[in-house]
Amino acid sequence: MFFRVVSPRRPSRLLAAAASLTTPLLPEDFVSLVDPLWSTTALRGRVVEVRPETARATTLRIRPGRGWTGHRAGQYVRIGVDVNGVRHWRTYSLSGPESPTDGCLTVTVQAQPDGVVSGHLAHSTPVGTIVQLEPADGDFVLPSAVSGPLLMITAGSGITPVMAMLRTLAALGPLPDLVLLHSAPTAAEVIFNDELRALAEQHPSARLALRHTTTEGRLDLAELDTLCPDWREREAFVCGPTGLLDAAARHWASQPDRLHLERFTPPPRSAGGSGGAVSYGSADPVEVDGATSLLEAGEAAGVLLPSGCRMGICFGCVLPLREGQVRDLRTGEVHGEPGDLVQTCISGASGAARLDTPTT
Ligand SMILES: Cc1cc2nc3c(=O)[nH]c(=O)nc-3n(C[C@H](O)[C@H](O)[C@H](O)COP(=O)(O)OP(=O)(O)OC[C@H]3O[C@@H](n4cnc5c(N)ncnc54)[C@H](O)[C@@H]3O)c2cc1C
Ligand code: FES
């Protein structure tokens, strides 16, 4: 059966009539078979460009389908991708500007050693691939009107949300007074190297300091007094490895309101959980030690579980608790009542427990 595609903006008596013919399926269900971006129930995107940035990092330009409402510079998107027949969800900062002229979103993925999804996205994703998307989210964003000077400290793939900020600001006019301190192991591993240098050349108000850690060593934040003496007066945005973020939190301890952090990897876990036997749906119980998350333990046992950021931000991993309690791996707190929704990525076992799974 064929339907003429009508504009989604036009109220459509045609669609209503078609719906009565195709019940229980909606006409959109048929249309989305032809063009997956048309689905009204699932937000998807099509990869329209694959641009290598470094040997490990690749930018994917993705045309989003119906339902994408844009992003603020610095926000992230959850992307669902099938690897070896299994759907995985991961979180990536949007690296493109707000209001892109082509309507596409971009993410820049750096392959992690032994990573399930990042290597696949960076090196094995052809143009035309359909990915699952969720609306942009996150509060690592510029103030709606930038009034004061900025300081950005990034390392490795942590440049991505800051690149979105720089691109957004540059599209508005001359960049404001900003200092960017970016680290990568070598010059060849600096993502957006040419664009960053060009921005610094074109905008005298922007100062870029690139550091190649293999030869110069890692940035010690005590060096800020020399590299950016007025750092205390600047709104600071920091994104990079856990060590850098933890050091920044300590450095800004006396004025935390001036500091914005974006973590790509989870903070360290608290030690000393008891572990326990955890049942996922109707499957046999899995013995989970005190340091492993319920998400990791379930996946290792072959249970198909929902996930996203894998660090307690997005709530993409929640499952209903049916019996027992769980332990927050970040704080050590034991909690939970039957019926509570549990974030499996940051929860460990604390005695026997049972969780419902999506198929239960
Ligand atoms: C808010 C947010 C924004 C993010 N934005 C980006 C981005 O713009 N670009 C990007 O490349 N990644 C980004 N990430 C990280 C991304 O979500 C994945 O964690 C990363 O791609 C690894 O996924 P994987 O499936 O390959 O690794 P997994 O299979 O999940 O893990 C494999 C191994 O790699 C380690 N690992 C996972 N992630 C990292 C990491 N970032 N650094 C070092 N070791 C790691 C794990 O501890 C594990 O040992 C972001 C994460 C968050 C929470
Ligand atoms: S996967 Fe994001 S909160 Fe658990």
Domains of the chain listed by start with CATH number: 42-133 (2.40.30.10), 150-263 (3.40.50.80), 276-355 (3.10.20.30)
* Number of Cβ atoms within 10 Å of the Cβ of 221: 17
More confident residue, 128 or 360: 128
Task: Please state the atom number of ligand 1 nearest to the C-alpha of residue 90.
Answer: 17
Which residue, chain included where needed, has tokens 């492993």? Answer: 292
Ligand nearest to the CA of 329: 2
Q: What is the residue with the minimal CA distance to atom 52 of ligand 1?
A: 264
156 burial level (CB within 10 Å; 0-12, 13-18, 19+):
buried
* Pocket perturbation via mutation, ligand 1, pick of 84, 92, 120, 346 by most ligand atoms within 8 A of CB: 92
Which residue, chain included where needed, has tokens 């026997």? Answer: 352
Closest CA to 107 of 170, 64, 143, 153: 64
Is the CB of residue 264 below 6 angstroms from any atom belonging to ligand 1? Answer: yes
Ligand nearest to the CA of 268: 1
Ligand nearest to the CA of 317: 2
**CA 210 / ligand 2 centre spacing (Å):** 33
DSSP state of 266: P
Residues near ligand 2 (Cβ within 6 A): 307-310, 312-317, 343, 345
**CA 37 / ligand 2 centre spacing (Å):** 25
Ligand nearest to the CA of 107: 1
Task: Please state the atom number of ligand 2 nearest to the C-alpha of residue 91.
Answer: 2
Is the CB of residue 91 below 6 angstroms from any atom belonging to ligand 1? Answer: yes
Least-confidence region, from 54-58, 88-92, 149-153, 227-231: 88-92
Which residue, chain included where needed, has tokens 């129930």? Answer: 41
* Number of Cβ atoms within 10 Å of the Cβ of 171: 13
Question: pLDDT tier at 314 (50, 70, 90 boundaries)?
Answer: confident
Is the CB of residue 79 below 6 angstroms from any atom belonging to ligand 1? Answer: no
- pLDDT number for residue 3: 28
The mean per-residue pLDDT over the stretch 279-308 comes to: 91
Least-confidence region, from 44-48, 98-102, 142-146, 257-261: 142-146
Q: What is the residue with the minimal CA distance to atom 20 of ligand 1?
A: 118
Question: pLDDT tier at 28 (50, 70, 90 boundaries)?
Answer: low
> What percent of the chain lies above the pLDDT cut of 70?
89
Report the amino acid identity of residue 266.
P
Model pLDDT for residues 193-219, shown as the tens digit of each residue: 999 999 999 999 999 999 999 999 999
Task: Please state the atom number of ligand 2 nearest to the C-alpha of residue 308.
Answer: 1
Least-confidence region, from 67-71, 122-126, 144-148, 180-184: 144-148
Least-confidence region, from 20-29, 35-44, 291-300: 20-29
**CA 312 / ligand 2 centre spacing (Å):** 4
**CA 111 / ligand 1 centre spacing (Å):** 8
Ligand nearest to the CA of 294: 2
Report the C-alpha gap between 46 and 126 in whole angstroms: 10
> What percent of the chain lies above the pLDDT cut of 90?
73
More confident residue, 36 or 122: 122
Report the amino acid identity of residue 223.
E
Report the C-alpha gap between 246 and 153 in whole angstroms: 13
Task: Please state the atom number of ligand 1 nearest to the C-alpha of residue 138.
Answer: 1
Report the C-alpha gap between 176 and 33 in whole angstroms: 47
Model pLDDT for residues 244-279, shown as the tens digit of each residue: 999 999 999 999 999 999 999 887 777 777 899 999
Closest CA to 161 of 95, 235, 97: 95
Res. 170: pLDDT tops 90: yes
Closest CA to 186 of 166, 158, 206, 216: 216
**φ, ψ for residue 342 (rounded to 5)?**
-110, 130
Report yes or no: 128 and 62 within 8 Å, Cβ to Cβ. Answer: no
Least-confidence region, from 22-36, 233-247, 263-277, 334-348: 22-36
Q: Give CA 134 to chain center in angstroms.
A: 10
Predicted TM-score (pTM) above 0.75: yes
More confident residue, 21 or 285: 285
Question: Residue ranges of the alpha helices (H) in the chain?
Answer: 13-22, 27-34, 118-123, 159-172, 193-202, 213-216, 224-227, 242-251, 294-300
The mean per-residue pLDDT over the stretch 79-105 comes to: 93
Question: pLDDT tier at 306 (50, 70, 90 boundaries)?
Answer: confident
- pLDDT number for residue 282: 87
Res. 320: pLDDT tops 90: yes
Closest CA to 346 of 322, 326, 323: 326
Question: pLDDT tier at 9 (50, 70, 90 boundaries)?
Answer: very low
Res. 4: pLDDT tops 60: no
**CA 345 / ligand 2 centre spacing (Å):** 6
At residue 277's C-alpha, the angle toward residues 292 and 310, to 5°, is 30
